[in-house]
Structure 1
Amino acid sequence: MTQANQTAMERISDREFVVRRTVDGSVRLVFKAWSEPELFRRWWTPKSFGMTIHSCEMDVRTGGGYRLVISHPSMPEPMAFFGKYIEVVPGERIVWTNEEGGEDGAVTTVTFEGRGEQTLVVWRDLYPSKEALDEAMVSGATSGFDEQFDQLDEMVAELGAE
């Protein structure tokens, strides 16, 4: 990872939170890291958060779904995160729902833009209300992206070296 790869996070409206990061790796490898369960689970949760991914089921196609079961020492029981893929364009875009949040769940859009041997990843969470995004920010749901993307960058570098 080069020092230039910084994660930019900002709230751009009452309902939208955006994360931008350039990853050292081709669009093909970066998209693969987002769409193959065995790779996804290697980088998805920030290691310092102490979370464990018990299962990761992903059918990454328009109309498909996902289900992650994650635990943390502070939680009495593992928690399921799940939703549907609204749109998947290989190498370009993945859009999914976050249904564990009920009516307050965000719709997440991640785009991949090739820039030579790097990929600009833009993650947009659109919440149904200002209050839902406020709550997500207070709860810490919008934190950890620096470490998460560092882990993605490291894994993509490993994939590129294989």
Structure 2
Amino acid sequence: MSDLSNRTLTIEKTFNAPVQLVWDAWTQSEHILKWWAPNGMDLKVIEHDFKVGGKWKYTMQMPDGTEFISEGAYTEIVELEKIVTSADFKPMTENVELQAYFEAVGEKTKFTFNVVHATPEYCKQQEEMGFYNGWGSAFERLVKHLEVLVK
């Protein structure tokens, strides 16, 4: 097993919302629908069983009509602190681990998002395929969604 640091892509953000709201946005289907997909794409929640061992599955319609499937199973949940899940984003990314960390900082939330890949080569390939643009776009949608909730 190679060193985690060369197999992990990380995005850190501070959300202008309390940790409970950010947590809810990650863990409740009605919120996930509003931000999980990149800009301009609609998401359908097929399955969302938020518990350790529970599975999740979302689909997005691509502009060319094909379906993009995101799915995984939760492996670790620490209320208001951490979510770890396996993840496949077919057809582009398979067999990765998502780690979402939440830290209350007053009325804001420090958020760290890691995606751990099987090999350094696969990690680099995913980065070059647009990892930061794709997730960055989804997290911008999350920022906007949280702004509406905070008001």
TM-score w.r.t. structure 2 length? 0.86
Equivalent of 1:72 in 62, 83, 88: 62
Q: Aligned-pair distance for 1:35?
A: 0.3
What is the CA–CA distance in structure 1 between the aligned matches of 2:55 and 2:116, rounded to whole Å?
Answer: 19
Equivalent of 1:109 in 77, 84, 99: 99
Equivalent of 2:15 in 11, 14, 23: 23
Q: Aligned-pair distance for 1:29?
A: 0.4
Q: Does residue 58 of the first structure (1) align with residue 54 of the second (2)?
A: no
Q: Give the AA of the match of 1:148.
A: A
Q: Give the AA of the match of 1:147.
A: S
Q: Give the AA of the match of 1:42.
A: K
TM-score w.r.t. structure 1 length? 0.81
What is the CA–CA distance in structure 2 between the aligned matches of 1:56 and 1:152, rounded to whole Å?
Answer: 20
Asked if structure 2 preserves the Cα contact closer than 8 Å seen for 1:67 and 1:82, the reply is yes
How many residues matched?
Answer: 147
> Which whole-Å deviations, capped at 9, do the CAs of 1:13-45 have from their partners, x for residues lacking one?
320111000001111000000000111110112
Q: Give the AA of the match of 1:151.
A: R
What is the CA–CA distance in structure 2 between the aligned matches of 1:99 and 1:29, rounded to whole Å?
Answer: 26
User: SS at 1:98's partner residue?
Assistant: strand
What is the CA–CA distance in structure 1 between the aligned matches of 2:21 and 2:90, rounded to whole Å?
Answer: 30
What is the CA–CA distance in structure 2 between the aligned matches of 1:101 and 1:14, rounded to whole Å?
Answer: 23
Asked if structure 1 preserves the Cα contact closer than 8 Å seen for 2:87 and 2:95, the reply is yes
Asked if structure 2 preserves the Cα contact closer than 8 Å seen for 1:37 and 1:56, the reply is no
Q: Measured at CA, do residues 149 and 99 of structure 1 come closer, stay the same or move farther in structure 2, by a change above 3 Å?
A: closer
What is the CA–CA distance in structure 2 between the aligned matches of 1:82 and 1:113, rounded to whole Å?
Answer: 25
The alignment yields a C-alpha RMSD, in angstroms, of 2.1
> Which whole-Å deviations, capped at 9, do the CAs of 1:96-131 have from their partners, x for residues lacking one?
001356995210100000000100010011101012
Consecutive unaligned residues in structure 2, runs of 5 or more? none
Paired position in structure 2 for 1:32: 24
The range that moved more, 51-60 or 25-34, is: 51-60
Q: Does residue 41 of the first structure (1) align with residue 33 of the second (2)?
A: yes
Q: Aligned-pair distance for 1:90?
A: 1.6
Equivalent of 2:145 in 125, 144, 155: 155
Q: Percent identity?
A: 25
Equivalent of 2:72 in 75, 83, 91: 83
